[in-house]
Amino acid sequence: MNINELKQALDIVTKNGGVPFITAQPGVGKSDSVRQFAEAKAKELELNYYEGPENYNPDGFGFIDLRLATVDSIDLGGLPLIDRDADVTRFTRSPYIPQDGHGILFLDELPQAKAGNQAAVSQLILDKRVGSHSLGENWNIIAAGNRAKDRAATHKMPTHIANRLTALELDFSIEVFIEYMHEKKVDDVAIAFAKFRPELLESFKPDQDINCTPRSYIAASNFITTAAENLQFSLMAGTIGEGATAEYLGFARIWKDLPPLSEFLKIPAEITIPTKSDVLYATIQMLAMNVTEKNADTINIFISRLEDSPEYVIMFWTSALKKCRKLLRNETFRAFLKENEDLIL
């Protein structure tokens, strides 16, 4: 399932008292999808959203990200204290086990946790409690981890834990990833190249030290705008691999050499239509990234000249609509939509 479908599944499972367990290849967005889900629930309940036990607010909605591979069992079980009056040992409440308020306790890296830590959370997953301390009734648990086949240092989970979980596998979706990059205002070249070569983002190989994953791709794209040109290849290759970097930078050079937007707005009927497919693709994406309600009709003068390549016309309007939803009011777009509604929506 894609991220949008995953969020719907998380809502259903948690409302039914279950514990979702998200699996996926590294870098696809497991952790970020749960954070987005928590933010959406806070908004739905009209509660102030906060992250981390250090910001605990019993009147808010919390998101506690507990990386099980990096903590000790005592972080969950609490510290022992001697109650001399009762002559017993009691344990302090862990800040990771809030009693009040609302929120999501996210048990990340569950399969990567050592056996002792998995044992420490077993009672939490089974009964929403650790020792004598219960997790608040308005808190839900969500777990996640990498798949064993990706060689991400996973350990086999005890069957009594696995049986309590609802396994949900997150798949990569280029459409959802493009939406995410638009929301995060990622560089236009990165968005266009992701559309051009989406298969690079699904090429994860466990035997490679460096992979081009959605997470590493966004990190690498930042070097285009923040690093000196002589450092860009080395920095990007160390993040997404040499092959993906070479293709990305080649596409970026094509993008850089395109006629400026001002020419398309000034003489749209005269600009030469590129004959090379990669240059034409970059041109279409550049125009789609810069379309507005005001310039859409002018840009369409150039786009309408692509009558022999209808797939590029559809590509333009599809990308343009994602960039500018106000185009739904544009008469030129509405006319095109009427003829191609089944293809563009």
Residues 85-132 have pLDDT tens digits of: 877 788 788 888 999 999 999 998 888 877 777 777 888 888 888 888
Average pLDDT, the chain: 88
pLDDT for residue 157 is more than 80: no
H helices within the chain, ranges in order?
3-15, 30-44, 74-77, 115-127, 159-162, 174-183, 188-196, 214-226, 229-240, 242-256, 261-266, 277-289, 296-303, 310-323, 331-344
pLDDT band at 13 (very low <50, low <70, confident <90, very high): very high
pLDDT at 330: 84
**Which of 168-177, 252-261, 320-329 is the least confident region?**
320-329
Helix/strand/coil for 153 = coil
Picking from 217, 232, 230, the residue whose alpha carbon sits closest to that of residue 187 is 217
Residue 54, amino acid: E
Residue 122 CA to residue 171 CA, distance in Å, equals 27
**Domains present along the chain, CATH in parentheses:** 3-171 (3.40.50.300), 175-344 (no CATH)
Percent of the chain with pLDDT over 70: 96
Q: Output the pTM of the full model.
A: 0.77
Residue 33 CA to residue 37 CA, distance in Å, equals 6
Residues 292-324 have pLDDT tens digits of: 989 999 999 999 999 888 889 999 998 898 888
Residues 46-82 have pLDDT tens digits of: 999 999 999 999 999 999 998 887 777 777 777 778 8
pLDDT band at 148 (very low <50, low <70, confident <90, very high): low
